[in-house]
Amino acid sequence: MTLLPLSPRETARRRLLDALRREGPMARVEIGQHLGMSPASVSELTASLLDDGILVTEDTGDQSSGLIRGRPKVRLFFADSLGSVIGVWTGFNRIELRLVDSAGRNRASRHIERPLRSLGAGELMDVLTETITTFAKDTGAADVKAIGLACQGYVDTRDGIVAWSPVLGTRDLPLAAGLSERLGKPVLIENDASAMAFAIAQRNPDFRSGRTACLMVGDGVGMGFLIQGELYRGARFGGSEFGHVRLRRSGPQCRCGGRGCIEAYLADYALHRDAQLIDHRPAPTLLLPGEEAMNGIVEQARAGDPALLNLFHEAGEVLGDAVSILIQTLEPDHIVICGPGTRAMDLLRPSFEAALESQTIPELRALAAVHVVKSSLDLLTEGVVMQALRELDLDLARLKAA
């Protein structure tokens, strides 16, 4: 069934709900200032949303906002009884899950080690269906409304297809439709770097203005690009595969099949592979190392191992080259370096900064602020959960027939 476009009043409700979802609880006067609405319009809209049970009030007791003396500041936020959303991230042989209520509060999370790459399309969907269903049952998830799924690789968000992923063994996988049919719920899918970028912007208002490029370094290297806080999409509604930009034709092997990609120098698997081959260390036995293995390499380098220090020096140069490319092609206001790979930023920073300064046009370099944000895998599920909640808010914005 094709949904009718929103009416002007429904559009206003949608804007208000989106502001609360983005900014968190706000008082009516704050909502009016944020959206440029008159007090009368805000009062009318919030009254209807309160009557519908979509919003609830919170008395903060804050009398410092310039309101009438003795009258506390009343903030509005989402009710937590409108259902729940489950966020999922598929990594290399692992699955992360998160359950949130309709107010966006985290209710439960789970980490599962499970081989995925060897599975065919049907097997993979069955495994994910079983995992999500069991998680919902074990956590007592109330009225699950939707599933948000973050996945590495090239993801067509419009058609719900994972065209290619280094952690899955199937190409052109109609993952959203397959899971939706099995679960009986809407399924939204997203590239994991875009999901992390969206979550980071949710936490930091500065990254929701202008253009922000989030370079995620960890299992792989990906990028999410935001314009005014909204994810930028390509022609096929996918994100950026920036990690597979080739820097050196004769460089190391990348998981995509090419050589010399940015990822082949910076990703955990690349650093782990090269570290194991240094000084006659044992050959790599794992395609992707765990956090314990990566922390071991980092600590050994910090202790002064010259070969490992050189490895991180080269990785820092590549990171500087990559950020230079971003600055000179996209001219972002902010560049955020995030992901588990920031664990070694102290080792990467000297050569990173030297490469960035030497390879970037000074006038352009001065325009971009570079931030390093320590971040963990929970941001991946947080990002898709927030997007799924925003999609549900679209339905909440519609006026119910009398």
- What pLDDT is recorded for position 250? 85
Whether 68 has a pLDDT exceeding 70, the answer reads: no
Q: Which CATH number fits domain 8-64+74-79: 3.20.20.10, 2.70.150.10, 1.10.10.10, 3.10.129.10?
A: 1.10.10.10
Contact between 378 and 109 under an 8 Å Cβ cutoff? The reply is yes
Q: What is the domain class of 84-196+380-394 according to CATH?
A: alpha beta
CA distances 70 to 34, 58, 67, Å, are 24, 16, 8
- What pLDDT is recorded for position 83? 95
Pairing of strands 161-164, 154-156: antiparallel
Kindly state the helix (H) or strand (E) to which residue 39 belongs, with its residue range.
Answer: helix 39-51
- What pLDDT is recorded for position 66? 45
CATH no. of 207-372:
3.30.420.40
What is the rounded average pLDDT of the residues 244-263?
Answer: 91
- List pLDDT tens digits, range 143-201: 999 999 999 989 999 999 999 998 888 899 999 999 999 999 999 999 999 999 999 99
The answer to whether the pTM exceeds 0.95 is no
| Domain ranges for the chain | 8-64+74-79, 84-196+380-394, 207-372
* Residue 191: count of CB within 10 angstroms of its CB: 29
Whether 304 has a pLDDT exceeding 90, the answer reads: yes
Same fold, 84-196+380-394 and 207-372: yes
- What pLDDT is recorded for position 64? 47
Q: Round to whole Å and give the CA distance between 340 and 18.
A: 29
With H, G, I as helix, E, B as strand and everything else as coil, classify residue 13: helix
